[in-house]
Amino acid sequence: MKGNIDVSAHRRAVEFADGVYWVGALDPTLRNFDIILTTANGTTYNSYLVKGSEGVAVIDTVKENFSDEFFARLESEVDYSDIKVIVLNHLEPDHSGALPELMRRAPQAQLYISQRATSMLKALLHAEEGLQYTTVKTGDSVSLGDRTLSFLHTPFLHWPDTQCTFVEEEGVLFSGDVFGCHYCDKRLFNDLVGDFRFSFDYYYAHIMRPFKKHVMDALKLIEPLQLRQIAPTHGPILRERPRRYVTHYRELSTSSLSRGIGDDDQSMIIFYMSSYGNTARMAEAISEGGSTVEGVRVSLYDLQGGETDPFVDLIEEADALLVGSPTINGDAVKPGWDLLSSLAVVNLKGKLGAAFGSFGWSGEAVRMIEDRMRGLKMHIPRQGVRVKLIPTEEELEECRSFGREIAEVLVGKSQTKEVIDFADLV
Ligand code: FEO
């Protein structure tokens, strides 16, 4: 199906494999998605139909306020009484918005979701009892006669509930948000739409990157498939050379940095900001202490320039992150918060974190940074070092010990002592 396709000109289903149809909706005026993503030309909510000799399956739905378009496309191809199966690969509202109404219109249909989706389903439908659904995992399948839907358990892409569904006979993978992007083009297919590479990578960077490990696990299931097309829930359907996108996902999920240090070395990165050089002196002393521990490579960076984006890759690869900030007006200074907020796109769970800083009056910055690190699920093995104004030689020695102790935790020479905050107890 090449040539001029314009799915905005009608509200009919679009067949792209034998018995497999797009029945989604276009949202070309959207400019911001989930607050965190911008989009220059909107998005699509892709829903699909699979027609088998013994019934029809609907794979995912659309955002609730696009239901009319979805139901019109659905009705152009099937009767509600034909629908035997509904699969929700992901229950975020942009894909489950029309589900309650679809279930009302096709009450005979069996709903298939992942095990982890059950609590979300109950919240979505506001029902604890009487809900009929089947949970599925890798290896499970459902037959539509001459079409078979096989399920792949691919959690955390990018919610706990996510899964993929594969139509074996047609080689079509319904991948959910994976391989998707916010790119609305009424020509619908990757070989016809405009150049969406920037959008594809942007989507990966903001949605999938924190879950790289889970992407790699999913690729182990996806790569062996006899894949002919990928049908994600947003953006173009990848019918031309779909494997390129699988390969690209593997590249994106592999470290972009050469570690530059031996694989056995642990990387400890220290960032600091300093008004009068006092926090800088502490940072240098902590670095000296950390560097005395064999097997640890320490790196020291001044954030005074305020640029944080270049450091995100580095921090993602690091084993320990230390942040030093003075306290000004009862707070850590802005470059520190910029750095810490830029880390929402990477997974820091379990990495070591620590804070330090000089202060004049109250010294809240260190505890605030530690709290943010806990929020990022980092592990804080030692309570941070705070120094009033100019560090004495004794206090600098304390900083050296602090750096050494963090480094020793990294190489397993020192016991981890989780610092308990009162905030953790409530
Ligand atoms: Fe497109 Fe995670 O919803």
Q: Which of the pair, 33 or 81, is modelled with greater confidence? A: 81
CB atoms within 10 A of CB 10: 11
Q: What is the pLDDT of residue 261?
A: 62
**Mean pLDDT on 289-307:** 92
**CA of 234, closest atom in ligand 1:** 1
Q: What does the pLDDT look like over 362-415, one tens digit per residue?
A: 899 999 999 999 999 999 999 999 999 999 999 999 999 999 999 999 999 887
- Ligand 1 neighbour 60 (Cβ under 6 A): no
Strands (E), 312-412: 320-324, 352-359, 385-388
Give the whole-angstrom CA distance, residue 56 versus residue 169.
15
Q: What's the confidence (pLDDT) of residue 3?
A: 58
> Which atom of ligand 1 is nearest to 177's Cα?
1
| Residue 72 pLDDT exceeds 90 | yes
Q: How far is the CA of 274 from the centre of ligand 1 (A)?
A: 41
Ligand 1 site, residue 27, Cβ cutoff 6 A = no
**Residue 94, ligand 1, Cβ within 6 A:** yes
Q: Please name the residue whose Cα sits nearest to atom 2 of ligand 1.
A: 92
Structure tokens at 85: 């199966």
Q: How many CB atoms lie within 10 A of CB 271?
A: 23
**Ligand 1 center from residue 92 Cα (angstroms):** 5
Pocket flag, ligand 1, residue 161 (CB < 6 Å): no
Q: pLDDT by residue (tens digit) across 128-149?
A: 677 889 999 999 999 999 999 9
Neighbouring CB atoms inside 10 A of 284's CB total: 18
pLDDT tens for 28-65 read: 999 998 878 899 899 999 999 999 999 999 999 999 99
Is 351 in contact with 378 (CB distance < 8 Å)? Answer: yes
Tell me which of 307 and 228 has the higher pLDDT. 228
The first and second tokens of residue 73, run together, are: 């496309």
At 172-214, the pLDDT tens digits run 999 999 999 999 999 999 999 999 999 999 999 999 999 999 9
Is the Cα torsion angle 151, 154, 158, 161 positive or negative in sign? positive
**Is 206 close to ligand 1, i.e. is its CB under 6 Å away?**
no
Percent of the chain with pLDDT strictly greater than 70? 94
Cα 337 to ligand 1 centroid, rounded to whole Å: 28
pLDDT in tens, 231-267: 999 999 999 999 999 999 999 999 777 656 666 789 9
Question: 177 CB under 6 A from ligand 1?
Answer: yes
Residue 224 has phi, psi (to 5 degrees) of: -75, -10
pLDDT tier for residue 310 given thresholds of 50, 70 and 90: confident
- Please tell me the distance between residue 240's alpha carbon and the centre of ligand 1 in angstroms: 23
Atom of ligand 1 nearest to the CA of 162: 2
Length of the chain: 426
Terminal Cα distance for the chain, rounded: 59
233 lines ligand 1 (CB under 6 A): yes
- If phi > 0 it is left, if psi is from -120 to 50 it is alpha, else beta; for residue 364 that is alpha
Mean predicted lDDT score pLDDT of the chain: 93
For residue 92, the ligand 1 atom closest to its alpha carbon is: 3
Q: Which one, of 319, 313, 314, lies nearest residue 266 by Cα?
A: 319
Atom of ligand 1 nearest to the CA of 159: 2
Is 95 a pocket residue for ligand 1 (Cβ < 6 Å)? yes
Q: Is 90 in the pocket of ligand 1 (CB under 6 A)?
A: yes
Q: How many Å apart are CA 359 and CA 383, to the nearest integer?
A: 16
Q: Which residues contact 215 (CB under 8 A, 6 or more apart)?
A: 157, 178, 208, 249, 252, 253
The confidence score (pLDDT) of residue 419 equals 52
Residue whose CA is at the smallest distance from ligand 1 atom 3: 92
Q: What 8-state DSSP symbol labels residue 206? A: I
**Which domains can be identified in the chain, with CATH numbers?**
7-253 (3.60.15.10), 261-425 (3.40.50.360)
Question: What value, to the nearest 5°, has the Cα angle with vertex 390 and ends 386 and 392?
Answer: 85
Cα gap 270→32, rounded to integer Å: 34
- pTM equals 0.85
Q: What percent helix, strand, coil does the chain show, rounded to 5?
A: 35, 25, 40
Task: Confirm or reject: Cβ of 170 under 6 Å from ligand 1.
Answer: no
